[in-house]
Amino acid sequence: MSQPPETLAPLLAKADATLKEAVDAVRNCQNAIAYQKYKKAFEQLKHYREEFDKQYLPHYEAAEEIARGQNPGSSITATAQLWRFPTFSSRKLSHFVKLSDVKLDNVGGLENCKRVLREAAIWPVKYPQFFTGNRKPWRSVLLFGPPGSGKTLLAKAIAAEADYHFSSISPSDIVSQWLGESEQQVSDLFQEARKKHPSIIFIDEIDSLCGPRGKNNEHEASRRIKAELLVHMQDVCDGKEHVLILAATNTPYALDQAIRRRFDMRIYIPLPNKEARKRIFEVEIGKTPSKIGKSGLESLAEGTEGFSGSDISSYVKDALYQSIRATLRPGFFTQTKDKWWVPCQDAAFPHKKSLQDLENEKQDSKIQVPKITLEYFKEVKKRHKPTVQAAVLDELKKFKKEFGVDAEEPSDAL
């Protein structure tokens, strides 16, 4: 950023001088004078902020627009990290986006969870006549389960399927070092969600933001954020706007009790079962040229008991690369009648060429990439193990028994 204009420099110099006077007063044990000096300095800084906003806010907004164009899935763009001065009077920019590239059908299993999310997001808009009298839609849902089980994917999928505005917020997006800024971020977020309804606010890793109050030497700023969040969550539950609060955590016991009670439904997202793992393998392989049929998917699902969705994703990614790694072997390719270079199956074939040979001859554009086979998965299997420990699962199941419901229960279970 360029140097502040001359009109701002004197304002900042005055505030800086007053702060130095306050520090000197503290050193001389003149607390009453120090307090007045600090108060005056903060007023001077407030005036500086107002002038600063007038000078730089248009440039900030232009940068935000560019950042959103480069990363449309971002909830709060990285441009905010460039903004070195707190601007309480700044007009807040949109945190909400529309998603379209993921659907609930892409998530294997979890039928009860999908039903609850459809009840919360789709039914109130599609069938408003259902919600009369005391029948109200779910307004706040907590998704808890082991890491990599698809909680974030579920939130994005229901937002896309319901065509809601979606905002994904992490604790780092809310917490600020400046007094009052964090609470303002929470207030602005919920205000915009109500203004842009139907909308979904997704708070990832909510446990790091909303731990138990009054414990572990809790900081006053953290307590104020929780209080602000509790108030706005209640407003959403009592309001008429179609706003859904989704939150995810791997450690539900770390949540404050009042926050936990604010969630209408607390759904356990377990590790994928066999059918869900088959679906995950199918989605992850996608349109990659493959020779893996239904029996191959069955075999892969059977061999990955205890794997999370994230574990399977890493496993598939490694296996998909294996077919590319095979092309580095000497004499891997042979030419077909239509001039395409394909993997050579005959070890005694006389006219084989390597990838380097084809590159040197500028024939690499005619290479036909080998299809994925089950053997590639077997070759990399030893490098991939389940990452979720049994002790973690036991603790999550205990929480489900005490406070939650199972995402795999049939639709008539509740």
CB atoms within 10 A of CB 143: 30
376, 140, 155, 375: which is closest to 266 by C-alpha? 140
Q: What's the Cα-to-Cα distance from 228 to each of 48, 184, 209, 223, 372, rounded to whole Å? A: 27, 9, 12, 9, 52
- Is 197 within 8 Å of 241 (Cβ atoms)? yes
Residue 262 backbone phi and psi in degrees, to 5 = -70, -20
Q: What domains can be seen in the chain, in order of their start residue? A: 9-82 (no CATH), 97-271+395-406 (3.40.50.300), 274-387 (1.10.8.60)
In tens digits, the chain (414 residues) has pLDDT values of 455 455 778 888 888 889 889 888 888 888 888 888 888 888 888 888 777 777 777 776 677 666 555 554 444 434 443 443 444 433 344 456 666 677 777 777 788 888 888 888 888 888 888 888 888 888 899 999 998 888 888 888 888 888 888 888 877 777 766 667 778 888 888 888 888 888 888 988 888 888 777 666 667 777 788 888 888 888 887 777 788 999 999 999 988 888 898 898 899 999 988 988 998 899 889 888 888 999 999 999 999 999 998 899 999 999 998 877 767 666 666 666 666 666 665 545 556 666 666 667 666 666 667 788 898 899 899 999 999 999 999 999 999 999 888 776 554 443
Q: In what order do the strands lie in the sheet with 165-169?
A: 97-98, 165-169, 199-203, 243-249, 140-144, 265-268, 405-406
Is the overall model pTM greater than 0.75, yes or no?
no
Give the residue carrying structure tokens 């000497």.
Answer: 330
What residues contact 262, with CB distance under 8 A and at least 6 apart?
140, 230, 233, 234, 237
366, 154, 408: which is closest to 272 by C-alpha? 408
